[in-house]
């Protein structure tokens, strides 16, 4: 909508990034991945807020792509996904923890999405200066990753409902 009216929509992305991160942290704290306690989760969220603010007002601008916060978010979520896999899958059978039904599909979706999208976020600002058709190609790939993420979330929710 904003893009159609030629209004810069990056400020929304800055808010969305923090919102998305908080929701995902809540999701992972609900799953209780072995190595991260609730206190650490809260600390991580607050630290991320600081990174977001620095990215928006110090190193960058609220009107440009938030490379640092998006990249940090991706790395943290990838780490949480890996931690979840190590603690719940039979990689560590003795301490394996039972997780809510369907959550495994969601975590799979997050891992694939953030792994694939990490490089788009890391070079987000540079992509922003490329010619329009290339930008469109790259963000289309990102859209495909988002699509697969939503498919995984849908399967997860469906499985949770069945259980």
Partner 1 sequence: MESTDQVKLYFAIMSVSLALTLIAGGFLIATFRLGKSVLHKKRALLKLNVKHEKELLFNSIQTAEAEREQLARDLHDETGNIFTTLSLSINQLKNENNLPDETVAGSIKLIQSGIESIRRISHALLPFELELLGLEETLKSHFTSIASLSGISVLFKVDADLSQFNKRCRIAIYRICQELMSNCIKHAKANEVSIIITTGHNTVVMDYRDNGRGMGAENLGSGLGLKNIKDRVSFMNGSLNCIPCPGSGFNFSISIPLHKNTVYD
Name the residues that contact partner 1, by CB under 8 A: 85, 89-91, 93, 108, 111-112, 115-120, 123, 126-127, 130-131, 134, 137-138, 141, 145
Residues 6+ apart with CB under 8 A from 154: none
Q: Give the residue among 163, 21, 14 at the shortest CA–CA distance from 98.
A: 163
Nearer Cβ to partner 1 (44/74): 74
Please state, in angstroms and rounded to a whole number, the distance separating the CA atoms of residues 146 and 141.
Answer: 9
H-only helix segments in 6-66? 10-31, 38-57
Residue closer to partner 1 (CB basis): 129 or 163 = 129
Task: Confirm if 100 and 160 have CB atoms less than 8 A apart.
Answer: yes
| Smallest separation (angstroms) from partner 1 to the CB of 29 | 22
- Find the shortest distance in angstroms from Cβ 37 to partner 1: 24
Cβ of 105: how many Cβ atoms within 10 Å? 19
Distance of CA 23 to the CA centre of its chain: 9
Nearer to partner 1, 49 or 154 (CB): 154
Least distance in angstroms from the C-beta of 159 to partner 1 = 15
* Contacts for 95-98: CB closer than 8 Å, 24+ residues apart: 95/34, 97/32, 97/34
Q: Would you state the structure tokens that stand for residue 35, as one six-digit string? A: 């190595």
Smallest distance from the beta carbon of 133 to partner 1, in angstroms? 10
- 4 or 131, CB closer to partner 1? 131
Give the nearer residue to partner 1 in terms of CB position, either 62 or 112.
Answer: 112
- Least Å distance, CB 66 to partner 1, is 17
């Amino acid at each position: 909508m904003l893009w159609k009216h030629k209004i810069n929509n990056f400020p929304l992305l800055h808010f969305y990034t923090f919102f998305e991160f908080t929701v995902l942290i809540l999701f992972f704290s609900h799953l209780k991945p072995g190595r991260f306690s609730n206190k650490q989760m809260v600390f991580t969220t607050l630290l991320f807020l600081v990174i977001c603010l620095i990215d928006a007002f110090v190193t960058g601008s609220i009107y440009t792509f938030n490379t640092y916060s998006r990249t940090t978010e991706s790395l943290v979520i990838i780490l949480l996904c890996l931690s979840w896999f190590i603690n719940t899958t039979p990689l560590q059978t003795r301490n394996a923890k039972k997780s809510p039904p369907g959550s495994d599909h969601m975590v799979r979706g997050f891992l694939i999405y953030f792994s694939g999208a990490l490089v788009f976020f890391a070079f987000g600002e540079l992509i922003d200066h490329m010619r329009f058709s290339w930008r469109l190609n790259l963000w289309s790939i990102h859209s495909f990753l988002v699509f697969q993420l939503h498919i995984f979330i849908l399967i997860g929710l469906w499985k949770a409902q069945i259980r």
